[in-house]
Every structure is written in structure tokens, then in C-alpha cells.
């Protein structure tokens, strides 16, 4: 298959396994490009991309912008905090004003789940979801799976545990969809209050004891507590959470095998993982950041080929 089955990247649940494989094969080529002395290719020279972020972002926004520039696209950056949204403008009006400037693709982060899906039904441009509330974050899940594939050779058959605030995490949901699609075994681990009630209906197992989860897994993906989304107290104290669900070097060294440590960022050092774990040779956190650029280049390149 040489093209994606979708016109937009709204979530992993709209992709099939062949789509993911195509994105990974394309990312392999772009990873080679970004490690050359001259890191730029003219693949999207006639394409204009708008980055529209209604929520704060550092890594994702920088990663998309760098990927766009590596592909020679024309880039417009839009920040909601400095826009007419503050004056009451609607999402569709905002985007249509931007599209009237002949924009071909929109990368959007929005606090409301389903914002990208809503937008895709009302505008002609290709939409890439850079995170919509606690719903999905497809490019993060793709780069996570790509990083596992790079480190362990394949995703199929691997045992992956996602630890932390599953309830509020768009990364967790997209990762579950992506890992299950590729044949991995998935468990989630965290306080009962931070696990969605129907999580097992997604085909994952629940484990509330961190040590048992780490003994089982090949890969542990550590998530931060989404403090900005916590409207009530879900656990007594941060210190107690760390004692129960934080990974430190002593715990890793006590396991019978070496496991791979991942984190989508930003890291709260000393909470979900300690600094010596984040900076250890078992950690592939910085590989994830590097792979993020290649994956986003691949996604934009493949979606651009479907723009009429």
C-alpha cells in the first residue's frame, strides 16, 4: 500500500495496521534525512500548513514546526491566547479565516475532545489532531510505537504497561489503540481513581500493583499526573502517589530483566520517575523526541499526497 486509507489524522482508531506500517516505513526514510548534514527535502515545497494551538504545548508544537520546515512547507503559527478567539470568535470562523489565506493543512490542538473531527466535517483542508482534550494524541502514539519497534525490533507480541493518570490521558488512549492494532499485549497501572471505569472493554488488563506490572512488561510507558485536568483530589498526596506508582533506579535494578522506560513528556522528575531512571540507559525518552520529528514528517508527507 502506497497511500493512507484516511484524508485526515484524527485518531489512531481511524487507522488500520497497513496505515501504521506505511507511516513507519516513510518515517524510516525521513529519519535518515534528518541525520544528514543537510536536513531538508523539498517534498512539501508548495504546501502551506497552519499550526493552530488552543492549548499550551512545547514539544509537540516544536516537533511539528521542525518537521514542516524539514519538508520545506510554508508554515503559519497561530496561538489562541493572542487571537480573536479571546473576542468570542468560533472555531469554524477562526479556521475558515486562516483557510481563506489558501492553507492546505491544519495541525490543531484543542481542549475539547472531538474538535478535529468536528472541524474535518466543515473545512476542505487536511486536519492533523495534535491532541484534543483527554481524547486522542495520534502522532504521540505513533512515535511511541515506532520507538518500541526501533529498540526491540517489533511491536507485535511485546508486553507494554502504561502507568499513571490513564483517566485524563489522551496519550494512553491513543497508545492502547496503536499497540493493540499492532498485536502488543497491554496493561494499565495506576490508582483506581485514575483508571477509567470501562478501560477493560478496550482489550487491556488492569494491574494496581506497580512491581507486578514491571515484572510482567517489556516496556513501561510512564505518564505524568495531568494536574491541569484534575478538578478534584484523586489521591491523598503526591508523595503517596510516588511511593505507590513512581519508578526509581532501585526498583528497576531489583527486576530480573532489563525493561525499556518511556515517557511522552513533560516529565515531573521525582514523581512518576526519578532523574536517574529518566537519564539511564534503559530510558528511550530522547529517542522518542527525535523519532517524533520523523513520524510527523511522514504523516504530513502522506496526507499531503491526498490533497487535491
> What tens digit of pLDDT does each residue of 17-72 get?
999 999 999 999 999 999 999 999 999 999 999 999 988 888 899 999 999 999 99
Is 191 annotated to bind a ligand? Reply is no
Question: How large is the average pLDDT for residues 209-218?
Answer: 97
pLDDT of residue 265: 87
The pLDDT of residue 67 = 98
Was 296 annotated as part of a binding site?
Answer: no
Task: Return the pLDDT at 89.
Answer: 80
Burial label, 6 (beta-carbon count in 10 A; 0-12, 13-18, 19+) = middle
| Across 167-176, 206-215, 222-231, least confident range | 222-231
Q: Is the pLDDT of residue 115 over 60?
A: yes
**Residue 137 annotated in ligand binding:** yes
CA distances, 31 to each of 8, 38, 134, 262, 298 (Å): 22, 12, 29, 19, 9
Residue 74 has φ and ψ, to the nearest 5°, of -85, 135
* 45 among annotated binding-site residues: no
Rounded CA separation 133/111 (Å)? 4
Write down the pLDDT at residue 75: 96
Annotated binding residue 269: no
CA distances 26 to 18, 97, 239, Å, are: 12, 32, 43
Average pLDDT (229-246) is: 75
* 7 assigned binding-site residue: no
Whether 281 has a binding-site annotation, put simply, is no
Q: Indicate the average pLDDT of the chain.
A: 92
Q: Binding site annotation covers 211?
A: no
pLDDT attached to residue 56? 82
pLDDT number for residue 60? 95
Average pLDDT over residues 127-151: 97
263 labelled ligand-binding: no
Q: Which of 116-120, 227-231, 271-275 has the lowest mean pLDDT?
A: 227-231
87 in a labelled binding site = yes
pLDDT band at 232 (very low <50, low <70, confident <90, very high): low
Q: Is residue 134's pLDDT more than 80?
A: yes
**pLDDT-based confidence at residue 227 (cuts at 50, 70, 90):** low
Domains in the chain, CATH or no CATH each: 12-137+289-304 (3.40.50.1370), 138-284 (3.40.50.1370)
Quick one: CA torsion of 33, 34, 40, 44, rounded to 10 degrees? 80
* Residue 97: per-residue pLDDT: 87
Amino acid at each position: 500500500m502506497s497511500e493512507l486509507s484516511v484524508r485526515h489524522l484524527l485518531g489512531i482508531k481511524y487507522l488500520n495496521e497497513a496505515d501504521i506500517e506505511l507511516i513507519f516505513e516513510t518515517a524510516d526514510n525521513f529519519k535518515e534525512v534528518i541525520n544528514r548534514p543537510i536536513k531538508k527535502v523539498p517534498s512539501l515545497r508548495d504546501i502551506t500548513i497552519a499550526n493552530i494551538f488552543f492549548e499550551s504545548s512545547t514539544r509537540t508544537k516544536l516537533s511539528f514546526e521542525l518537521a514542516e520546515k524539514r519538508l520545506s512547507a510554508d508554515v503559519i503559527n497561530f496561538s489562541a491566547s493572542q487571537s480573536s478567539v479571546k473576542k468570542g470568535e468560533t472555531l469554524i470562523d477562526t479556521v475558515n479565516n486562516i483557510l481563506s489565506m489558501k492553507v492546505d493543512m491544519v495541525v490543531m490542538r484543542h481542549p475539547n475532545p472531538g474538535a478535529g473531527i468536528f472541524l474535518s466535517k466543515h473545512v476542505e483542508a487536511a486536519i492533523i489532531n495534535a491532541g484534543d482534550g483527554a481524547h486522542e494524541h495520534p502522532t504521540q502514539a505513533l512515535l511511541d510505537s515506532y520507538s518500541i519497534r526501533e529498540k526491540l525490533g517489533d511491536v507485535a507480541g511485546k508486553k507494554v504497561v502504561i502507568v499513571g493518570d490513564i483517566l485524563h490521558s489522551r496519550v494512553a488512549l491513543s497508545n492502547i489503540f496503536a499497540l493493540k492494532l499492532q498485536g502488543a499485549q497491554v496493561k494499565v497501572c495506576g490508582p483506581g481513581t485514575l483508571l477509567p471505569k470501562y478501560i477493560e472493554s478496550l482489550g487491556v488488563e488492569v494491574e494496581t500493583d506497580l512491581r507486578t506490572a514491571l515484572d510482567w512488561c517489556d516496556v513501561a510507558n510512564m505518564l505524568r499526573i495531568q494536574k491541569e485536568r484534575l478538578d478534584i483530589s484523586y489521591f491523598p498526596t503526591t508523595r503517596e502517589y510516588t511511593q505507590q506508582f513512581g519508578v526509581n533506579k532501585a526498583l528497576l535494578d531489583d527486576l530480573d530483566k532489563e525493561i525499556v522506560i518511556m515517557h511522552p513528556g513533560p516529565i515531573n522528575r521525582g514523581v512518576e520517575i526519578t532523574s536517574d531512571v529518566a537519564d539511564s540507559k534503559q530510558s528511550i525518552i530522547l529517542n522518542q523526541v527525535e523519532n517524533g520529528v520523523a513520524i510527523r514528517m511522514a504523516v504530513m508527507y502522506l496526507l499531503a499526497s491526498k490533497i487535491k
